[in-house]
Structures are given as structure tokens and as C-alpha cells.
Amino acid sequence: MLFLKGIFIGLLIAIPVGPVGILCVHRVIAKGRLAGLFSGLGAAVADGLYGAVAAFGLTLISDFLIGYNFWIRLFGGIFIIIIGIRMYLTKPVLDIEDDVPNTLGRDFMSTFIVTITNPLTIMGFLAIFAGLNLINTHRGYMDASILVAGVVAGSCIWWLTLVVIFGFICSKFKISCLGALNKIVGIVVVMMGLFTIIVQHKLPPPSSQQNHEQAAIETAKSR
């Protein structure tokens, strides 16, 4: 049951469209399914780490992420902008298969960093955990591990679904279309990076677990 709840949480966190989703779809279309899959796995691993923070009640880590929200968000926004600029300047590759194996590590790490540098993700996890009455249940390490495994599985299910769907679409794109796609997606990603830096998110100050729970509940109610 905990594993199924974890899958549900993983899906809720992964499905909303953001920079990672756009990056994953773009890489499936421009570089193939494998590049898109590794991009999704990077996000899934980051989701799993944030899920562990919520499931194991690691308030020290969540306090750090919330307390240094501005600087983490600034780094993440700059990183997203750099990715967008590189996309805009990238020229379509004819022999994609020859280049993909050399970039899988970069594909994985880029989405991992984009996801892990978003402090709102931990608030999303806390809100969902509060809504499902999963906070402060004094669960053991085994139960928490099962829950986290479910979160990673749910996230992976979403990214795999996305890769399969857009994998069928990518064959219809011509090289000339990919050039225009790179520029359009690059501009969108840069705008998302700027939005990440400029918009001031109101996160609660780092404090005790009770305050985190209350903040998570308030966040859930406001959505």
C-alpha cells in the first residue's frame, strides 16, 4: 500500500509541465528515446532524494533548502538559462546515434540539477505528504524506504510514458524543423530560467517539523 502511495506521489510531482518536461520532450525529438529516458531518470533520482527528505523527516536538510532558497533558486535559474542558450545555438545532428552515447551523462546530470535546485519541490512533497497523512507517522526505515521507492517508480513511469509517446512523434520531424525547434525551445527554457530567478517565492523560514507540516498544509489548501 505504501508503495502504491509512493507511485501516486511520484506521478503528482513529475506530471506538472516545467523546464524538465520541456527538456525531456525536446531531447526525445532531437536526439532519440535514450537521451529522453536518461533526462527523465535524472529528474526521477532528484525526486527520490526529495521524497526521502520528506519520508524520513530530515528537517535539517529541508531547513537548509528553505533557508537558502534564494541562492539555490538563483543557481538553478542561471543553470536553466545556460541550457536554453545552448539549445538555441545547437545545430541539428544528422548522425544522432553516434553522438547520443557521449551525452547521456550530461543529459542525466542536467535534469538532476534543474530538479534538485528547485526548493519548491520539497514543499510540494511536504504538502502531498500532509494531504495523505504521511507526515509524523513514526514509520520505520523499511516503510520509509518502500515509500521513497514508490516515489521514484512513479516518476520513472511518467518519464517513460513521455518518452514512448514522443518517440513515435520524433520520426516525423525533419532536420530543418529541428533547427527551428531548437530555437523555440531554447527561448522558452531561457524565459523559464528568468522566471525562476525573478519570481519571489514565499517560503516559510526554517524551523521545526511542526512548522513544516503546517506550512505544507497551508500550501496544499492554497492550490
Burial class (CB in 10 A: 0-12, 13-18, 19+), 26: buried
Indicate the domain borders of the chain: 2-222
In the structure, what pLDDT confidence band is assigned to residue 217 with cuts at 50, 70 and 90? very low
Q: Which percentage of the chain shows pLDDT scores above 90? A: 12
Residue 9 Cα to chain centre, angstroms: 13
| N-terminal to C-terminal alpha carbon distance within the chain | 26
Distance CA 154, CA 136 (A): 22
Give mean pLDDT, residues 33-43.
Answer: 90
Q: Left (φ > 0), alpha (ψ -120 to 50) or beta: where does 133 sit? A: left
For the stretch 123-169, pLDDT in tens is 777 777 777 766 555 667 788 888 889 999 999 999 999 888 888 77
Report d(CA 32, CA 168) in Å as an integer: 10
Q: Which three cell numbers stand for residue 23?
A: 527538456
